[in-house]
Amino acid sequence: MLQAYEGYFEKGQFFPIGQPVNIQDRCRVIVTVLNEVAPEQKETAQAQAWREFFEAINASTEGTPETFERVNFTRGIAL
C-alpha cells in the first residue's frame, strides 16, 4: 500500500504536518524534497514554559548543590 505524508525536515528529523505517522522499520521509502521552506510552527504554551525554564536555569549564577534534600510529595504536611 502506498502512503504519502507531508511534513518538513529539521536537524535531520522528519516532522509530519497533522497526525503523527508510524512507519515500520526498514520500510523502503522515497523522499521528495520540495524547494519550499516550511511555515514557522507556533510554539505551544507547554514548549514555551519548558524553554523559559531551561533558559532561567542556564542564566542562573547560583552554584549547583552537591546533593538535594529528599522530598516526599505524597506526604501531607501541617502549615
For 14-40, what is each residue's pLDDT tens digit?
Answer: 888 888 888 889 999 888 888 887 777
Judge whether 74 lies within some domain. no
Per-chain mean pLDDT for the chain: 84
Answer yes or no: are the C-beta atoms of 19 and 6 closer than 8 Å: no
Of 29, 28, 37, give the one whose Cα is nearest residue 9: 37
pTM for the model:
0.42
Nine cell digits for residue 43: 510554539
- Structural domain containing residue 21: 7-59
Judge whether 15 lies within some domain. yes
Answer yes or no: are the C-beta atoms of 20 and 6 closer than 8 Å: no
Judge whether 72 lies within some domain. no
- Max CA distance (Å), the chain: 63
Number of domains present in the structure of the chain: 1
Judge whether 67 lies within some domain. no
